[in-house]
Amino acid sequence: MSDPNFDLPIPSAEASRATIGWLTLGLVSLLAAGVFSILLVLARTPIVQELVPFLDFFRVALVVHVTLSVLIWLLAVSGACWSLSTSRDRPIWDRLSFSLAASGTGVIIVCPFIGAGNPLMNNYVPILQHPLFYTGLLLFAAGICSHLVRALLDRTRIATRLDGTAALRFGITLSTVLTGLSVIAILASWRGLPNGMDGQIYFEFLFWGAGHVVQFSYTLLMMVAWVILAFASGGRFELTPRLTLVYLIILALPVITVPFLYLAHEITSAGHRIAFTELMKYGGLSCLPLGLAVAASLWHAEKPEGEGRYLRAALVSSLGLFAVGGVLGFMIAGLDIVIPAHYHGATVGVTIAFMGLSYYLLPRLGFGALPERMAVWQPYLYGSGQLMHIVGLAWTGGYGVQRKTAGVAQGLEGLGQIAGMGLMGLGGLVSVAGGFLFLVVAWKSMRGRIRHSH
């Protein structure tokens, strides 16, 4: 009988150091994204938006906010997970990877204050057309790629006797493979793009395939986090490690089609765009078996105590948001703001799972205990704010308001549209408060560090 202990222990002191580094990078990127998000929310809230001429800065702030809160935060936490799944120490390599990614993040944060502008609102990795922004992106990408290769080379091998921890580590290794595939997808798109193409359309095509592939990696790690949170918070997670591993493989399976999608369609063709949209829409359903197993584990689960309280709160909020985002994905019709409602739901679902994973990891990495009450409230506050934000977006999207607009460009007319955007703005502010609360909780834990890693 295999051991169903779905725990993620810290393999070594060196792995602990590397994990702390990547986790801190994620926290710094969220802090900076939070500052930019305040400006974003104000720029789209009725009445306030008329008082300040935000439109120009709205787009620059949106680019940096998305880059920090999605790309860097999610990949930094992914990097932390990869560090926990290595079988040997390589301190110099770890330091090099982290230094590259951290310096890239720093460069991206300071970009808007050095005069980087000319924003392009393409999907997945929006761009500021400025050498400094490109420098930041390249440095960060170099750090992630370096860490990815190291994690793949030193991955933990599966033993004959599979336990819960080994199943989770296998899931983490799968996520490195998927992220690696997304890097290859960028290179394939770059090779397939015609000479002379530039601007928004260029970056749209460049990141379209890879952007879709990397979502599978995030979802995979979210599932790993869900299992950890369910198990640690006293949920009745009854899958065997072997079945958990099989479900993780099923989740990653749709990505097998990616090389064929690249062979079948020109990068700039409508077929390429549609193929990846369909991959996401139907391939994303592959997360259902494990997702439902985790949801079922909450049925008749014992009342959590101690750290279980906030881990359960994070799990419930993440499940709820991800489910709403998933349902909205099937309601997209056209280019209205149901699209951001969908991806906010899905991405925030992943983000809350990663926040919960951070809560799980911080004390195990040698930091102090989390402030329990605050940590319990935080996922609910952040989740409910994001839910209001999403409902507001989806509601207004029903009236056909276009995405990535602000101020008068939104063309808000009827009471329904204004009320919807008002709800969106209020939800945005609540979720910003929830996001800052996460940083406060993490900060309090880090301040109470009980042993030094240096």
Partner 1 sequence: MLTEILLFTLVAIVIYLVSDRIIRIIEGNRGGILKNRQVVFFAVFLVLALVSFRVLRTLLTA
240 binds partner 1 (CB under 8 A): no
In whole angstroms, the minimum distance from the beta carbon of 136 to partner 1 comes to 8
In whole angstroms, the minimum distance from the beta carbon of 305 to partner 1 comes to 30
CB 29 within 8 A of CB 105: yes
Q: Which residue has the tokens 């799990």?
A: 315
CB closer to partner 1 out of 130 and 265 = 130
CB closer to partner 1 out of 202 and 237 = 202
Contact map string, positions 11 to 50, toward partner 1, x by CB under 8 A: ---------xx--x---x----------------------
In whole angstroms, the minimum distance from the beta carbon of 151 to partner 1 comes to 20
How many Å apart are CA 106 and CA 25, to the nearest integer? Answer: 10
Helices (H) and strands (E) in the chain, counts: 16, 2
Q: Which of the ranges 105-113, 152-160, 219-227, 391-399 carries the binding residues for partner 1, by CB under 8 A?
A: 105-113
447 binds partner 1 (CB under 8 A): yes
CB closer to partner 1 out of 26 and 289 = 26
How many Å apart are CA 236 and CA 227, to the nearest integer? Answer: 10
449 binds partner 1 (CB under 8 A): yes
How much of the chain is in helix, strand and coil states, percent to nearest 5? Answer: 75, 0, 25
**Token output for 344:** 């906010």
Strands 119-120 and 127-128: antiparallel
In whole angstroms, the minimum distance from the beta carbon of 206 to partner 1 comes to 16
- Of 62, 101, 77, 92, nearest to 8 (Cα)? 77
Q: Which of the ranges 49-57, 129-137, 179-187, 344-352 carries the binding residues for partner 1, by CB under 8 A?
A: 129-137
- Of 156, 150, 208, nearest to 182 (Cα)? 208
Q: Which residue has the tokens 């099989």?
A: 246
197 binds partner 1 (CB under 8 A): no
257 binds partner 1 (CB under 8 A): no
113 binds partner 1 (CB under 8 A): yes
Q: What SS3 string covers 113-164?
A: HHCCCCEECCCCCCEECCHHHHHHHHHHHHHHHHHHHHHHHCECCCCCCCCH
Which amino acid is present at 253?
L
Residues that bind partner 1 (CB under 8 A): 20-21, 24, 28, 99, 102-104, 106-107, 109-110, 113-115, 131-132, 134-136, 138-139, 446-447, 449, 452, 454
